[in-house]
Chains A and B, each alone.
Chain A
Amino acid sequence: MVFTILKFELKYWLRNWSFCAYLATFFLMALLSMAGASGTFGEGSASATNIANSPMSIYNFVNFFNKILLFLLPAIVGHTIYKDYKNNFNSILYTYPFSKTNYLFAKFISAFIIVSIIAFL
């Protein structure tokens, strides 16, 4: 049962345009900030003493993106469950033979996978 809901939710997200939008935004943000730092657009912050892909500056980038990712979590995890209420689908769904634990677990894991895909890309 968990697997059915999980599969359905993943399919839903992968087809959803907002997933593509999130993905593109984050990819571009990462690309541009790294390109900017390494001097693609004129003078970057890199110099002889400040290397763009040094462990320290990569650490700083990751730190920065972690903070922005926090905005994604509620948007995606929340929406996974909220869409059942918004579409008024929950009144049908909750009389089906699966437990609350299974339902919440599957919904959360699927949303988590989606966020992870965006984060790792």
Chain B
Amino acid sequence: MTLKIKNLSKTYPNGVKALDNLTLEIKQGMFGLLGPNGAGKSSLMRTLATLQNPDEGSVFFEDIDVIKNPMDLRKVLGYLPQEFGVYPKMSAVDLLDYLATLKGIASKKERNALINQVLEITNLYDVRKKSVDGYSGGMKQRFGIAQLLLNNPKLIIVDEPTAGLDPAERNRFLNVLREIASSNIIIFSTHIVDDIKDLCNDMAIMNGGKILKKIKPSEATKEIEYKIWTSTVERENLEEMEQRFVVLSSKYNQDNSINIRVYANEQPTSNFVTVQPGLEDVYFIALKDNIEN
């Protein structure tokens, strides 16, 4: 099972180039799409979910031409948009029943079984009779997962689902995602590096409508091992450091000094010590390279 994206381009009427000749191949499993705000993640996801057409390029899921036959894809697609709402005053069960009928499940018995199943998976069974517009942010996101599971999708697209969730809810949500990942492709976009580290077996870093780097999270940090250095500097020296070295990130300490992480092949100065690289470093290196080029 593969999703093949080839030379995808999209320019919005206001001149923003959201997708820039993007080529990507996604295989079975969890795929993380990492990028800053405005990188084109949502544009890519909306295109894959048949909500908008690209100017150029092609998308194939197995042998379905997504651009030409969106209806065929929709039958095997589960999509959770970045923001969504529901009709007011409708309980989860009623809404899911309607949505399941729309997804083409005609028999009432089959629908009920399916709805109970997805409510169990998403831990919403106890609140199934409450109206969905009164749910908390995390519960609503889980409801979003429940609705996308209704047609046993082969391609699942979730667009920044963890934005705005508290840590406990975020964990619960990621566990639900982990549970449903089996024999399908799940594309998961986020700007939170930890989400990907915990979850995905393949990832890509995206900015400016392009894929900057496609790599497995487990291998990503090996490449830059012994190349990440850290040191504590005073606030006044930060600018000088940024000019002299590739500073990936800087964090304030409580006493107003700054911890910086630097990417270099050799020890920059004797003050620096080497540290274990994280996925965040990989992300910042990719973004830095992109800006310099």
The answer to whether B102 and A1 have CB atoms under 8 Å apart is yes
Encoded as 1 (CB less than 8 Å from any A CB) or 0, chain B from 34 to 51 comes to 000000000000000111
Distance of B100 from chain A, by nearest CB (Å): 10
Q: Kindly list chain B residues whose C-beta atoms are within 8 Å of the C-beta of A1.
A: 102, 104
The answer to whether B87 and A83 have CB atoms under 8 Å apart is yes
Inter-chain CA distance A91–B79, complex, in Å, is 9
The answer to whether B81 and A87 have CB atoms under 8 Å apart is no
The answer to whether B51 and A88 have CB atoms under 8 Å apart is no
Partner of A97, one of B71, B80, B147: B71
Q: Kindly list chain B residues whose C-beta atoms are within 8 Å of the C-beta of A8.
A: 98
Chain B stretch 72-89: residues in CB contact (< 8 A) with chain A: 74-75, 77, 79-81, 83-88
The answer to whether A96 and B103 have CB atoms under 8 Å apart is yes
Q: Given A8-B98, A97-B71, A99-B71, decide whether A91 and B103 contact each other with a Cβ distance below 8 A.
A: no
Q: Kindly list chain B residues whose C-beta atoms are within 8 Å of the C-beta of A88.
A: 83-85
Let me know if A70 is at the binding interface, CB within 8 A. Answer: no
Q: Kindly list chain B residues whose C-beta atoms are within 8 Å of the C-beta of A83.
A: 87
Q: Kindly list chain A residues whose C-beta atoms are within 8 Å of the C-beta of B23.
A: none
The answer to whether A98 and B85 have CB atoms under 8 Å apart is no
The answer to whether A87 and B85 have CB atoms under 8 Å apart is yes
Let me know if A5 is at the binding interface, CB within 8 A. Answer: yes
Let me know if A63 is at the binding interface, CB within 8 A. Answer: no
Distance of A33 from chain B, by nearest CB (Å): 35
Distance of B179 from chain A, by nearest CB (Å): 21
Let me know if A49 is at the binding interface, CB within 8 A. Answer: no
Q: Closest B residue to A97 by CB, please name it.
A: B74
Partner of B84, one of A12, A92, A99: A92
Chain A stretch 1-19: residues in CB contact (< 8 A) with chain B: 1, 4-5, 8, 12
The answer to whether B79 and A4 have CB atoms under 8 Å apart is no
Chain A stretch 74-96: residues in CB contact (< 8 A) with chain B: 83, 87-89, 91-96
The answer to whether B75 and A87 have CB atoms under 8 Å apart is no
Q: Kindly list chain B residues whose C-beta atoms are within 8 Å of the C-beta of A91.
A: 51, 81, 83-84
Partner of A92, one of B71, B75, B81, B151: B81
Distance of A117 from chain B, by nearest CB (Å): 21
Distance of A65 from chain B, by nearest CB (Å): 31
Encoded as 1 (CB less than 8 Å from any B CB) or 0, chain A from 8 to 41 comes to 1000100000000000000000000000000000
Partner of B99, one of A12, A87, A96: A96
Inter-chain CA distance A94–B151, complex, in Å, is 15
Let me know if B231 is at the binding interface, CB within 8 A. Answer: no
Inter-chain CA distance A4–B144, complex, in Å, is 21
Partner of B102, one of A4, A12, A87, A99: A4
Inter-chain CA distance A104–B51, complex, in Å, is 16
Let me know if B232 is at the binding interface, CB within 8 A. Answer: no
Q: Given A97-B75, A99-B71, decide whether A92 and B147 contact each other with a Cβ distance below 8 A.
A: yes
Q: Kindly list chain A residues whose C-beta atoms are within 8 Å of the C-beta of B71.
A: 97, 99
Inter-chain CA distance A91–B75, complex, in Å, is 16
Which B residues contact A (CB, under 8 angstroms)?
A: 49-51, 71, 74-75, 77, 79-81, 83-88, 98-99, 101-104, 133, 144, 147, 151
**Known contacts A87-B88, A95-B50, A97-B103, then 12 further A-B pairs from the complex at CB < 8 Å, ordered by chain A residue:** A1-B104, A4-B102, A12-B87, A87-B86, A87-B133, A88-B83, A91-B81, A91-B83, A95-B79, A96-B99, A97-B74, A98-B102
Cross-chain pairs A/B with CB under 8 angstroms, 9 sampled? A1-B104, A4-B101, A89-B84, A91-B83, A92-B84, A92-B99, A92-B144, A95-B74, A97-B102
